[in-house]
Amino acid sequence: MKIFSAQQIYAADKFTIKKQEITSDALMERAAVQIFNWMHMRMQGAPVKIHLFCGIGNNGGDGMALARHLQEHGYHIAVYVVNYSKKRSDDFLLNLERLKERKVWPEFLDSGSEFPEIGRDDIIVDAIFGIGLNRPADDWVVRLIQHLHASQAFILSVDIPSGLFMDKGVQNPDAVIKANFVLSFQAPKLPFFLPGTGIYLNEWEVLDIGLDPEYLTNTETDYELSGKNEVLPLYIPREKFSHKGTYGHALVVGGSKGKIGAVHSASKACLVTGAGLVTAYVPECGVLPLQTNLPETMVIADEGVDVLNKIKYDIEPKVIAIGIGMGQEVSTIQAFTTFLDENKSPLVIDADALNILATNKALLKRLPKESVLTPHPKELERLIGKWKDDFDKLKKAKAFSKKYACVLIIKGAHSIVIYDGKGYVNTTGNPGMATAGSGDVLTGVVTGLVAQGYSPLKAAVFGTYLHGRAGDIAVEQSGYQALTAGDICNAIGKAFIDLFVIPKPPEVQEQAKESEQEKS
Ligand SMILES: NC(=O)C1=CN([C@@H]2O[C@H](COP(=O)(O)OP(=O)(O)OC[C@H]3O[C@@H](n4cnc5c(N)ncnc54)[C@H](O)[C@@H]3O)[C@@H](O)[C@H]2O)[C@H](O)CC1
Ligand SMILES: [K+]
């Protein structure tokens, strides 16, 4: 699914209005009807008080039009105009008039107003600012936002939580609505997925307001979401007459005394992702544990006993994962440098190899094109420098990926794969996966995919999805706290199978759950 910028959404509006020969208020009406239907289906006429806070732009216009539909269906509403500017949009004014025609008189709030009382069990509709926010909100609006939070009522935000910018981070946390739910038009917005801004919403859903498909299909976006629909076409089926050679030989280089487990996790993940052969290259101390615990992998011992000293082998791997548990001893740094000079295979680079690259930036030039780098936030900072906010981070990450022609996987709640000026935002995964070794498994999965012939970019996007999905499947058994990297690894097979499971409609899922409960 594409993630559009604010400018692209405005352009889509224009295009749609022209092509479908409709007025802009007809588009607003569609948006309002969609929200109304969503609410009506859930509330079924319940006599809960709904407070609608509407700005004076088109987001506020949506709120006004929604208020009209709620009123027509007998809902108990109170409408407020958050009067932060004299510059009202035409469609806001039109919908204000339509509301007045129905004898609904909104209360106008400004800097001198006493704010309305809101019950804990009431519902707040937040239509104060939409994607048009372009400067920080006035102090009194910030006070209003705090007042809404203090009520503890459920907050439903229209399009985007008010106070979030589309292209910059949060400067004043008090100036942003914390939404329980966001109903966003046509496509989700980038801030929903970034750590500094995503914390302002619990859940989101997209409502289709019928923007023109021609525009939506033909417009290239800087970001897109990677869900099941996007990754399924990447899947390469296994051939009947294939053999292990078909699926590539992967080499996993890393480990040091006390950190051999990292190589175990990555190698196992590589195997269960489908690589034909996996060889682990470790210091001598790693040979016995790996041979004992992971007999399906082959092991090559470095001349170093506790750390890597040479990185010499006589196989020709299709792909090499390097860095996990490797440490940064002087001899290891030297071995890694020599390795980069001689290496011809595609690379997946993680952990200590990233830290070595960060402190010796000249080495970055020696990476083969399309190397996959998998930094967590601290490793990323060492590579690209400090950032002002998430948007600045993405800009710097894109510049880095361009400069070194590499694929970056920025690990996080929504990992983002960066390549060739574009970001692929992952949709799978859960907080249980913030656990030791989880990243080693990701490295193994991506490596396993490259071994089988996936391009590095496809391997990064698909691998990140599979890794998260495996975590989601595993957490159902383990719970968040007890989830281990081993559980994620063991669920990778199920994540593949799940690609081909067609989700049942919600009511069927509900019935299945109920009959499960009855049985137990
Ligand atoms: N295709 C769609 O998705 C549609 C979305 N709709 C809704 O329209 C808004 C965007 O509307 P817009 O009028 O451009 O922006 P806002 O409602 O966010 O209004 C802000 C308004 O106020 C000015 N402004 C910005 N920041 C401040 C500030 N801090 N203080 C004071 N004033 C400010 C700014 O110049 C704007 O004029 C979108 O989110 C949807 O909700 C359409 O209804 C249908 C199509
Ligand atoms: K809003």
Tell me the ipTM for this assembly.
0.98
Instruction: For Cα atoms 109, 111, 112, give the angle at the middle one, nearest 5 degrees.
Output: 85
Overall residue count recorded for the chain in this entry:
520
Ligand 1: residues whose CB is within 6 Å? 9, 12-13, 27-28, 31, 55, 57-62, 84-85, 89, 129-137, 158-159, 185-186, 211
Whether 82 and 191 share a structural domain: yes
Ligand-binding annotation for 133, yes or no, is: yes
User: What pLDDT is attached to residue 511?
Assistant: 77
pLDDT tens digits along 77-111: 999 999 999 999 999 999 999 999 999 999 999 99
Average pLDDT over residues 450-461: 98
pLDDT tens digits along 286-312: 999 999 999 999 999 999 999 999 999
Whether 200 and 268 share a structural domain: no
- Is residue 506 scored above 80 in pLDDT? no
Choice from 20, 66, 129, 208 to test ligand 1 binding pocket (greatest atom count within 8 A of CB): 129
Q: Does residue 505 lie in a domain region?
A: no
Ligand nearest to C-alpha 16: 1
Whether 214 and 239 share a structural domain: no
End residue of a domain, out of 160, 187, 219: 219
Q: Does residue 226 lie in a domain region?
A: no
CATH number at residue 163: 3.40.50.10260
CA of 68 to the centre of ligand 2 (A): 17
Q: Whose CA is nearest to atom 33 of ligand 1?
A: 133
Residue 186 CA: nearest ligand 1 atom is: 3
Q: Does residue 508 lie in a domain region?
A: no
End residue of a domain, out of 159, 184, 219: 219
pLDDT tens digits along 25-74: 999 999 999 999 999 999 999 999 999 999 999 999 999 999 999 999 99
| DSSP code for 125 | E
- C-alpha to C-alpha distance for 519 and 383, rounded to whole angstroms: 54
User: What pLDDT is attached to residue 254?
Assistant: 98
Q: Tell me the residues surrounding ligand 2 (ion) with CB < 5 Å.
A: 126, 157-158, 162
User: What pLDDT is attached to residue 246?
Assistant: 84
Q: Does residue 225 lie in a domain region?
A: no
Ligand-binding annotation for 415, yes or no, is: yes
Please state, for a pLDDT cut of 70, what percent of the chain lies above it: 100
Whether 78 and 36 share a structural domain: yes
User: What pLDDT is attached to residue 515?
Assistant: 77
Ligand-binding annotation for 61, yes or no, is: yes
- C-alpha to C-alpha distance for 446 and 465, rounded to whole angstroms: 10
Ligand-binding annotation for 325, yes or no, is: yes
CATH number at residue 258: 3.40.1190.20
Whether 305 and 205 share a structural domain: no
List CB contacts of 135: < 8 A, sequence separation 6 or more: none
Mean pLDDT over the full length of the chain: 96
Q: Where are the alpha helices (DSSP H) in 44-138?
A: 58-72, 90-101
- C-alpha to C-alpha distance for 113 and 127, rounded to whole angstroms: 18
> What's the whole-model pTM score?
0.95
pLDDT tens digits along 114-164: 999 999 999 999 999 999 999 999 999 999 999 999 999 999 999 999 999
Name the residue among 356, 339, 350 with its Cα closest to residue 463.
350
Residue 27 CA: nearest ligand 1 atom is: 44
Q: Does residue 40 lie in a domain region?
A: yes
Choice from 59, 177, 190 to test ligand 1 binding pocket (greatest atom count within 8 A of CB): 59
CB atoms within 10 A of CB 386: 8
Residue 276 domain boundaries: 231-498
User: What pLDDT is attached to residue 355?
Assistant: 97
Average pLDDT over residues 409-437: 97
CA of 113 to the centre of ligand 2 (A): 21
End residue of a domain, out of 219, 241, 266: 219
Ligand-binding annotation for 212, yes or no, is: no
Whether 214 and 77 share a structural domain: yes
Q: Does residue 506 lie in a domain region?
A: no
CA of 249 to the centre of ligand 1 (A): 54
Q: Does residue 12 lie in a domain region?
A: yes
Q: Whose CA is nearest to atom 35 of ligand 1?
A: 132
- Measured in degrees and rounded to the nearest 5, phi and psi for residue 121 equal -95, 5
Whether 297 and 392 share a structural domain: yes
Ligand-binding annotation for 58, yes or no, is: yes
CA of 180 to the centre of ligand 2 (A): 12
Whether 200 and 275 share a structural domain: no
Q: Does residue 511 lie in a domain region?
A: no
- Is residue 520 scored above 70 in pLDDT? no
Whether 120 and 267 share a structural domain: no
CA of 269 to the centre of ligand 2 (A): 42
Count of domains for the chain: 2
Whether 375 and 341 share a structural domain: yes
CB atoms within 10 A of CB 507: 8
Whether 238 and 213 share a structural domain: no
Whether 420 and 298 share a structural domain: yes
- Is residue 6 scored above 70 in pLDDT? yes
List CB contacts of 337: < 8 A, sequence separation 6 or more: 360, 363
